Chain A
C-alpha cells in the first residue's frame, strides 16, 4: 500500500524565496513518487491561493491553497493528517499541527524541514518539547543541523541533513556567451566585468551583504575602471531609497544598476551575463541562489558564517569569505577579476555542481528519509 503523505506549507507558489523554492522541489518529488506508485501525496498551503499552483510541480488534485484562511487550514490539515501516514512540515511555525496529530496517533510520522534563521533562535519550552517530539528534523545544511543541536539540544539521531538541490526545471546553458539582449538592456559593454547579486532588497533583511559590495567598489574601480555591479531582486521603497543615497554618496551611479525583480525565464541569462556572483551573506540557511549561479558556470563569493558553506561545498565550488571583512571581500573579488574563467573552467564548475546538487539525488535521498523507519519503529 502506498504511504499517504501530507505536506504542509506556509507558502509554496505565491512567493519566490528560498524556503518556497525548497517546497516546490519537495512537491515535485512527491509528485514523481506518486507517479511511481510509491506514495500518495497531499499538499496544503496556508497562504497560497488555489490558483497559484505552478502545475510543473504538482497535479491539481494533490494541492489545496487556503488563501490565508489560517483556521480552515489548521482544521483541514488536522483532519487530513489523521488519515495520513507521514506529515511533512515545511516550517517550524507548523509544528503545533504535527504535535496535535501525534498526540492522537503516536504512530504517525512527523517530519520537519528546518531551513535557517527560523530555527536558529531559542524557543519557549513548550515549542522546544514539540520540536524534540518530532520523528525527524530534515536540515537543509550542516550549519543548520549544528545550530539546532547547539541551541535546542535536539538528539543527533533525530537530525538528518539534506542539502537543497537545483530546481528540476532550472535552465542550464553550456554556451557561456554573455546574452546580447541583456548587455543592450543594461547598456553594458561586453568588455566590462560584471559583479552580480540576487536577493531580496529589503529594509528588514540587511544581512545579504550588498552594502559591503557597494563599499568596496570604489577601491576595485582603481584597477578595473569598467567594472559594473548589477544588484538584482525585488526591493521595497525604503531600502531602494537608502541604496540610491548610498550609491550617490560613493558616486557610483555609473557603475551600479539596481535592476529589480528578475523573471524566472531570465535568471540563467543574468548568471551568464556576469563574471562573479557575490553575496557575502550572514544568515543563509543554505543559499539556493549560489548553486544556481555555479550551475551556470559562474564563480561565486559567499559568506563563511552560515549555510552558504554547504552550498559552496566548504569552498570547493567557490570562495568563502568573512562577510564582515571588507578587505577580504575586496581581495577575493580582485583575485577573481585578475583570473577570468575559461570556458573549460566554467564547464568543470558546472559539472561539479550538478553532480552534487542534482534533483535526482535529492529525490532519492528524500524518498529514503520519508520511507525509512523512525527511531521508534527501529526499536
Chain B
C-alpha cells in the first residue's frame, strides 16, 4: 500500500448497540412473564416462524469491517449505516459514505463489503455496492468498478489485494 494517507484524522462516532430498552419492549410484547427469555427463546427457536433477512442483519455483517487506513470499524467512521441498506426481494443495495471526497480507499472499502456479503449471503441475492451520491469526486468510476462483475473477479485474482481485503475483514492492520 502506498504511504499516502488520505484522511489522517477522521471523525470517530460512537457505535450504538441495539438498545436494551427496545429489547425489553420486544420481550414485553411477546410475553406477560418477566425473565422468560430462556424458555421463550427455545420456543421461538423451534417454532415455524420465518425470520427474513433484514437491514439490521446485513448491517451486522458489514459494521465490523475495518477501515484500511485506521484502526476503526466502518460503523465507527459512519462509512456504513443500517438505513443505507436496502433489500428488495433478491436484490441488496448497500450505499457507503467515504470519509473524504478524495478518498482513494473507497474502492477497497467497497470491495471488502462486497466480498463479505458474497461470502455471507445466500446466492439468490444480487448485490449493488455504491458510494453515497455526491460524497466522492469520482463517484461514477468507483461505482462502475465495484459493480462490474469481471473487474471484481479480476481484482480477486490479485493475491496482495485479496490479502488486504482479508485484513480489512478480520481487523488485522
Q: Do A and B bind each other?
A: no
Q: Which residues of B contact A (CB under 8 A)?
A: none
